[in-house]
Amino acid sequence: MDIFGGLLLEYAEIIHVLFQLVCVLSVIAYLLSRTGTFREVVSGRLTWKNQAFLVLVFGALSVYGTYGAIEIMGAPVNVRDLGPMVAGLLGGPVAGLGAGLIGALYRSGMGGFTVVPCCLATVIAGLLGGLLWLYNRRKFIGIGNAVLFAGGMEVLHLGLVLLLAEPRHDAELLVAQIGIPMILANAGGMFIFAFIIANLISEERTKGERDTFHDELEKKNAELAVARRIQESFLPARVPSIEGFDLAAQSIPAREVGGDFYDVILRDGRAPFGLIIADVSGKGIPAALFMALSRTVTRANAKWHRDASLAVGNANRMISDDAPFGMFVTLCYVLIDPESRVLSCVNAGHNPPLLVRAGGSCTEIAPAGPALGILPDAEFSEERITLSPGDLLVLYTDGITESINARGEEYGRERLVDLALRNRGRCAREVLDLIKADVADHAAGMPQFDDITLVVLKVGSP
Amino acid sequence: MWHRSASTPVMNPSFQVLIKQERDVDIILFSGRMDANSSPDGEEGIQSLVRSGRTKIVVNASGLSYISSSGLRVLLAGLKLAREAGGDIRLSCLQPQIRDVITMTGFNRIFTIFEREEEAVKSFLS
């Protein structure tokens, strides 16, 4: 056995023992990370109680780092500095110094020729850790920096041994022997603690972000609920009853708020009454805002003008002036004289309303002008039809006909016409509910893609 | 050659936006369903062209199977932008169901519509 082989064996044994020590430290670090107090410290809540916790726990760790050491030429190779360093990096100079003093006190009881530099190094380790924490604006300095600090601290530790330990020759021999294992063991131990601390910090931050996001989401949902109630207040609170007619209407937005609306315009006595159905481009909040504008403008014009095409034409000019981002609204305005039963319809780019005659025929009232908001100077012509008792008028939005099932098939116009024809004898509410149910049946559990609105008018017997 | 619009991420597998250039005309090909979920992709496609000063745009709708009011809004917003910048958006290759919606809403009165893509491109070049 030559000298080189012997040295290698000795090194292997030192590293082996230190490695066991590091394993024990890992378990301690992990268990610590599960405690509430440690988590509080990591997220920056440094009460006196928490600092005392750091001092005691990492002081004890320092003692353990000494106790679990192996002795080479009477000098323990150890990770005593580790505890105070971690305490300082996490909790500042007070915590670091406290833990360092505990470690140093224990070390001083053991004696040996390196007792002075070793005790001094342990105290300095805690203090320097704390100063680094202060320097980094009271925050942990990160994994890489912590490991560098641990390595550097051990170099300092060994330097102190060379400087202060007597006899000088023994000190030099000792440092040559344990220098590298000391640096590696402490840097490795620091890596374990720093890794767990960094993970905890990012965990706490994620948790904080998630909580904030959750709070914001709840606030948004509450706001949307209010928005929905406001929007519902734009629709008639209840469908008015009109002598000689049977009327039902309903609007179901696909999201909290929607872009469809309907309106009933009543005038004094037996003057013509108006029905409006409309569909604003897009969905959700943008559509809802534009719906509020369109609804107000059309209602005001419908109330003001006795002539349906004039009302729609004027509304179009106003909406065109204010329409941003290509927003537009398709709308159908039906004016009915209850005395003569003459219907005047202005269809501005909207799905053609169905007129199911009592006799069993069905006609559509095709658009006679573009959607509102796209051509400011468009003219709108009106179609006049005389209604008979038993006739059924169905106004709808494309949410009905374009409702798709799992195979991507649209509900379509044909199904709607067919259903209306077969049920033309029923009252308005029944017809509306049947259409709603049939569309839901067709979609069969698919989410509602678009707002759905229906206005059904049945002409009563004279 | 068709290429994907650089600024348009592939977010909706049911809707694609492809772009090609022919001299100073850009042809934008929409395929699939252009609804509330997918039309932002189309909007970004058109707007990125207009922003970069390319305002002579032909929309090839041959692959478009459905367009909702959200999709129409995107076309109209693009048209307004392009015309403000001295350009235009012209439509081509409308499938029957798309043509029906365009006609019903009166969009045929504000858009110039061509049967074939080449005709629309030629209308810009002449």
Residue A74: is its pLDDT beyond 90? no
Q: Which chain A residues are within 8 Å of B107, Cβ to Cβ?
A: 370-371, 374
Closest CA–CA distance from residue B101 to any residue of chain A (Å): 9
pLDDT given for residue A456 in this prediction: 97
Residue B7: is its pLDDT beyond 70? no
CATH superfamily of A235-459: PPM-type phosphatase domain (3.60.40.10)
Residue A10: is its pLDDT beyond 90? no
Q: Which chain A residues are within 8 Å of B70, Cβ to Cβ?
A: 281-283
Of B76, B104, B106, the CB nearest to A326: B76
pLDDT given for residue A328 in this prediction: 95
- At the topology level of CATH, where does A3-211 sit? Arp2/3 complex 21 kDa subunit ARPC3 (1.10.1760)
Per residue in A404-423, pLDDT tens? 898 888 999 999 999 999 99
Per residue in A157-208, pLDDT tens? 999 999 998 888 888 888 888 888 888 889 988 999 999 999 998 988 898 8
Q: What's the mean pLDDT in A308-317?
A: 96
Residue B12: is its pLDDT beyond 80? no
d(CA A442, CA A435) in angstroms, rounded, equals 10
Please calculate the CA angle A16-A21-A22 and round it to the nearest 5 degrees. 95
Interface test with B, best of A320, A328, A350, A451 (most B CBs within 10 A): A328
Interface test with A, best of B12, B33, B59, B69 (most A CBs within 10 A): B69
Closest CA–CA distance from residue B126 to any residue of chain A (Å): 27
Per residue in A249-296, pLDDT tens? 999 998 888 889 999 999 888 899 999 999 999 888 888 999 999 999
pLDDT given for residue A264 in this prediction: 95
Domain boundaries, chain B: 3-119
pLDDT given for residue A234 in this prediction: 87
Q: Which of A5-14, A322-331, B37-46, B60-69 has the lowest mean pLDDT?
A: A5-14
Which uninterrupted H or E stretch holds A97?
helix A93-108
Own/partner contacts of A44-53, CB < 8 Å, gap of 24 or more, are A44/A138, A44/A139, A46/A91, A46/A92, A46/A95, A50/A91, A51/A91, A51/A92, A51/A94, A51/A95, A51/A98, A52/A98
Q: What's the mean pLDDT in A298-325?
A: 92
Q: Which one has a higher pLDDT value, A96 or A178?
A: A96
Closest CA–CA distance from residue A349 to any residue of chain B (Å): 4
pLDDT given for residue A75 in this prediction: 57
Cβ atoms of residues B102 and B113 within 8 Å: yes
Closest CA–CA distance from residue A378 to any residue of chain B (Å): 10
Burial class (CB in 10 A: 0-12, 13-18, 19+), A406: exposed
pLDDT given for residue A18 in this prediction: 66
Architecture of the domain defined by B3-119: 2-Layer Sandwich (3.30)
Q: What's the mean pLDDT in A134-150?
A: 94
pLDDT given for residue A87 in this prediction: 95
Closest CA–CA distance from residue B39 to any residue of chain A (Å): 10
For residue A3, what pLDDT band results from cuts at 50, 70 and 90? low
Q: What's the mean pLDDT in A101-108?
A: 93
Per residue in B40-51, pLDDT tens? 899 999 999 999
pLDDT given for residue A69 in this prediction: 63
Tell me the CB-side half-sphere exposure of residue A71, using CA atoms within 13 A: 8
Residue B114: is its pLDDT beyond 90? yes
d(CA A44, CA A197) in angstroms, rounded, equals 12
Residue A335: is its pLDDT beyond 90? yes
Q: Which chain A residues are within 8 Å of B69, Cβ to Cβ?
A: 259, 279-282, 328, 330, 398
Residue A93: is its pLDDT beyond 80? yes
Q: Over chain B, what is the mean pLDDT?
A: 90
By C-alpha distance, the chain B residue nearest A279 is B69
> The whole model's pTM is what?
0.71
Rounded to two decimals, the ipTM of the complex is 0.89
Q: Which chain B residues are within 8 Å of A283, Cβ to Cβ?
A: 36, 70
Beta pairing class for B56-67 and B25-34: parallel
Residue A347: is its pLDDT beyond 80? yes
Given an 8 Å threshold on Cβ–Cβ distance, is A375 in contact with B109?
A: yes
Domain boundaries, chain A: 3-211, 235-459
Given an 8 Å threshold on Cβ–Cβ distance, is A449 in contact with B36?
A: yes
